[in-house]
Amino acid sequence: MFSIVLNVIGSLFHFYVAHRLYRLDPVRTRVPATAWWVGAVLLWLVYLAGVHLGDEAIDWRWWPGQFALTWLGVMFVMTLCLLAADIATGFGFWWRARAQRVLGIAAVAGVVLAGFAIFQGVRAPVVVEQEVVMPNLPAALDGIVVVMVTDLHLGAQRRADWMEDRVAQINALNPAAVLMVGDQVEDNPLGEPRLATALRGLKAPRGVWAVTGNHEFYGDVETTVREFEDGGVRWLRDRKVELAPGLVLAGIEDVGSRMRAGGTITADLDALLPASTNMATILLSHIPAAPVIDMAAARGVGLMLSGHTHGGQIWPFSYLVQHRFPQLVGQHQVDQMALVISRGAGSWGPRMRLWQPGEIVKITLRAPRPADPT
């Protein structure tokens, strides 16, 4: 079904862009119509073949699959720019003296924006710093640093060598703990022995912890779990641990997987935290689902970490994603709980991001200040 949707949407974008570009005099006067449209159809067939093959296989099939997804992203950005020009000029029926120029500027803008989006998608994630005051955090833990990394989407696009570079980035932040908040893999287990070596390079005295995201369940989740365990990663699958004296770390399984199995969206959290806690508690939940956020705040969680939204990844999808997840990205306050949502270190689908690059989040925890004497 998903491939059918990509076929239809991608085809519409492709032929709309081809049609509008051929309206430009510099193109139409230099390229015969037959050659242009034969080339457009051949490129479209390559796109369809790539969608069919997919990009999740970690072999030669990745190349046509990734071409298809990238082409879809490029055509989407081009369509936005060209459609804006067409609306401004009434598809050439008014403002005729300037219609060609406006369309040409839109075409150049589309190419530039698509190129920038690809650059933002392939560049190394940036480090974003957050400071969070946690209720009940012991004074002895004031200033402790945890690093949050989510939506790595390791797979054909990002292999163990890419992860090695992320390990170096994370280690440079001197974290007490590393928290991996779901979608560590694109779909299938990575299947590279080198991954375990890379993960064992993480230097975090209080451990490296992970929860599952929806993409782990699109493949063989248990094999993925073992791959990361071989690298020293410990999974919080509906369980909690004492990260440090007075600081609890809890993690729930991907809520989507539970709902597909017939459960409710908050059942796991309800079992994990059956009553309000007076301990400083960090909750890892890949999807920032509103019922989970509300229950976590009501149960006394001081900090909830999530990913999944990608910050919208390619503008203006951010507005659509925000309709589903109002707290799209960054730090938000929900009663006494801080909610931090990361746009992720990797990307899904086309390796493109418009406007923001991927991120790794450094979080400094602060103990509440004593009340001033009155």
Whether the link from the prior residue into 63 is cis, omega within 30° of 0, is no
Q: How does strand 126-133 pair with strand 359-366?
A: parallel
Q: How far, in Å, CA of 218 to CA of 286, rounded? A: 15
| Helices 2-22 and 62-89: angle between axes, nearest 10 degrees | 50
Kindly state the helix (H) or strand (E) to which residue 269 belongs, with its residue range.
helix 267-272
User: What SS3 string covers 305-370?
Assistant: EECCCHHHCECCHHHHHHHHCCCCCEEEEECCEEEEECCCCCCCCCCCCECCCCEEEEEEEECCCC
The 8-class DSSP code of residue 248 comes to E
The answer to whether 185 touches 55, Cβ cutoff 8 Å, is no
Q: What is the pLDDT of residues 289-334, one digit of tens each?
A: 999 999 999 999 999 999 999 999 999 999 999 999 999 999 999 9
Instruction: Indicate the range of 117-121, 213-217, 261-265 predicted with least confidence.
Output: 261-265
* pLDDT interval class at 56 (50, 70, 90): low
Could you give the angle at the alpha carbon of 294 between the alpha carbons of 289 and 299, nearest 5°? Answer: 125
pLDDT of residue 95: 79
Q: What is the pLDDT of residues 141-166, one digit of tens each?
A: 999 999 999 999 998 889 999 999 99
Choose among 156, 228, 155: nearest CA to 198: 228
Q: Which amino acid is at 336?
A: Q
Q: Which CA distances in Å does 11 have to 8, 44, 67, 96?
A: 5, 7, 14, 28
The 8-class DSSP code of residue 154 comes to B
Exposure pattern of 61-78 as b/e (b: 16+ CB <10 Å)?
A: bbebbbbbbbbbbbbbbb
pLDDT of residue 372: 46
Q: How far, in Å, CA of 350 to CA of 12, rounded? A: 17
Q: What is the pLDDT of residues 221-241, one digit of tens each?
A: 999 999 999 999 999 999 999
- Mean confidence (pLDDT) of the chain: 92
The answer to whether 9 touches 48, Cβ cutoff 8 Å, is no
Straight-line distance from the first to the last Cα atom of the chain, in angstroms, rounded to the nearest whole number: 65
pLDDT of residue 62: 77
> In CATH terms, is domain 126-366 a member of 3.30.930.10?
no
Q: What is the pLDDT of residues 82-116, one digit of tens each?
A: 999 999 998 877 877 888 999 999 999 999 999 99
pLDDT of residue 3: 66
Q: Write out the DSSP string of 37-62.
A: HHHHHHHHHHHHHHHHH-S-SSSTTH
Strand partners, 340: 305, 331
> With 80 as the cut, is the pLDDT of residue 185 above it?
yes
Strand partners, 341: 306, 330
Choose among 37, 57, 35: nearest CA to 45: 37
pTM: predicted TM-score of the whole model, two decimal places: 0.92
The answer to whether 138 touches 246, Cβ cutoff 8 Å, is yes
372 or 139: whose pLDDT is higher? 139
Q: Hey, where are the domains in the chain? A: 2-122, 126-366
